[in-house]
Structure 1
């Protein structure tokens, strides 16, 4: 049995991680293209942003450090979920649409729906643990993670060795532009279209899951014929 879930148990061999469901369910390819074009034209006032709440009781949580760095920077926008409604997609997407980079530290678990909200908004995700995306969504995200995301080891943040603003400023404009284009190109792959319709020339997250599962099923007879378990 193959299990599809929003987060992969890294020790399991029969689980596949699929994107978190969001609030954008287009009913046509045109709607997807219109959204992508809108995001491409978006002017981004902030270098980076963070949407989330601190984890004061988590001894290994880097959220407090991240929030501190964001508050101290004029180029960071913070949406504190203890003070604002982060379940409202308008609040979240509004912040991500005006930010170049979006910080995605682990929360209650390694992954976050916020990662896919940031991609939907054309904001380049910044990860602090490989379990947040790289080891998870292999069917959906590029193998070469540097094409669409930035990685800062969480221990560097905890030890005070990583200045997030300086690290992001050190990325060339050419690379930022290339990463931004790649993120926007990923949008169709991480959304779930309106189930009452189909995207004519695009594959959404559901289409990709079904196609990959069928490919795996088709491998079974061939592997059995080759004498493999």
Structure 2
């Protein structure tokens, strides 16, 4: 969710206070995504890219609220993926700024649409969808609608190939979709000449007509399409665990097989896996159970226009997660512990996913050489 929308929604909460000494958490009104977006494309000096980030850190240190927990009770919303704020060197050619590598920011909680598996100071929240209900009735009606719709396609994919990215499997998925049996795959082309990906009605209609929706990585791990698929009651198919399973820890079930299918991307890349075959062999009852779980997830991934009375939306769940994280840090500080030393940053994804930092079957997906 974009920062200005977060502020508007936050102002509706009854638990706000203007007395910062009484606050459990402090929201920092900063728009880092809008700021860095001005310098991502083109030749800009590193000092120019970092100027506002450094000013933000200086401004925070000067506030009386900062001294209470040195930022561990502060949070803000980025509006872009984490990689736009993690420049490691002073090279002008390197992407983004160094906002999240500043010492002050490492203490804070940043809410972003894609988090870093190797860092402890950002948490992923759902991409905004096209659906922003005003009340619970709209949500319930929509859930009923996507539950009863007849799905004529086995799977669908909306996207464009990445011919210059040797790691991408999009080309293979597009080929498999085109070669699938009749009514087994529906392709939404996002090529500039026939781009249908900017048509919300076309995307949602296609996903509502499909049992499964393919969600391969693109320029980064995650895709907005994942949330369009869930909104349409279409079971997401992931090819990299970084696309969802280690991202939306507050919003998605820990047991990913309840709501999605995982197909390792290497098998697609080398031609040993047929997506059509894998999906067509899933028992119908299992498909039905997964779809029911996806539909139950809908309230958790939408941003309502106002605070709903009986259900929690993505915003409510996010704020709850932030408050629990801050309370945990506060408790550790009172116990004389350092909240940042609980686990190595490079094992962050494993710790939050399993509570352990032992060897994991997904380690190969998150080696530094695979970093997107």
TM-score calculated relative to the size of structure 2: 0.60
Q: Quick one: distance in 2 between partners of 1:122 and 1:165?
A: 19
Greater relative contact order: 1 or 2 (C-alpha under 8 angstroms, separation 6 or more)?
1
Gaps of 5+ in 2: 1-107, 339-372
Q: Quick one: distance in 1 between partners of 2:275 and 2:264?
A: 11
Match of 1:131 in 2: 242
- SS of aligned partner of 1:56: coil
TM-fit CA distance, 1:178: 0.5
Gaps of 5+ in 1: none
Q: Quick one: distance in 2 between partners of 1:215 and 1:120?
A: 27
Q: Quick one: distance in 2 between partners of 1:97 and 1:119?
A: 9
Match of 1:163 in 2: 274
Match of 2:188 in 1: 79
Match among 14, 19, 27 for residue 134 of structure 2: 27
Q: Quick one: distance in 1 between partners of 2:277 and 2:144?
A: 30
Say yes or no: does 1:146 pair with 2:264: no
TM-fit CA distance, 1:215: 1.4
TM-fit CA distance, 1:58: 1.4
Say yes or no: does 1:44 pair with 2:151: yes
Say yes or no: does 1:175 pair with 2:286: yes
Match among 168, 182, 196 for residue 61 of structure 1: 168
- The structure having more radius of gyration, on CA atoms, is 2
> When the two structures are aligned, how many residues end up with a matched partner?
227
TM-fit CA distance, 1:198: 2.0
Match of 2:42 in 1: none
Q: Quick one: distance in 2 between partners of 1:221 and 1:112?
A: 34
Q: Quick one: distance in 1 between partners of 2:311 and 2:165?
A: 41
Cα deviation 1:182-227 (Å, max 9, x = unaligned)? 0000000000001xx2211111111111111111222233222322
Match of 2:307 in 1: 198
Match of 2:200 in 1: 89
Cα deviation 1:92-137 (Å, max 9, x = unaligned)? 1111000000000011111000000000000000000111001111
TM-fit CA distance, 1:163: 0.6
The CA RMSD over aligned residues, in Å, is 0.9
Match of 1:12 in 2: 119
Q: Quick one: distance in 2 between partners of 1:14 and 1:121?
A: 32
Structure 1 runs (4+) deviating above 4 angstroms are: none
- SS of aligned partner of 1:212: helix
Q: Quick one: distance in 2 between partners of 1:225 and 1:13?
A: 20
Q: Quick one: distance in 2 between partners of 1:13 and 1:220?
A: 12
Cα deviation 1:55-83 (Å, max 9, x = unaligned)? 11111210110000101112100011111
Q: Quick one: distance in 1 between partners of 2:152 and 2:308?
A: 32
- SS of aligned partner of 1:200: coil
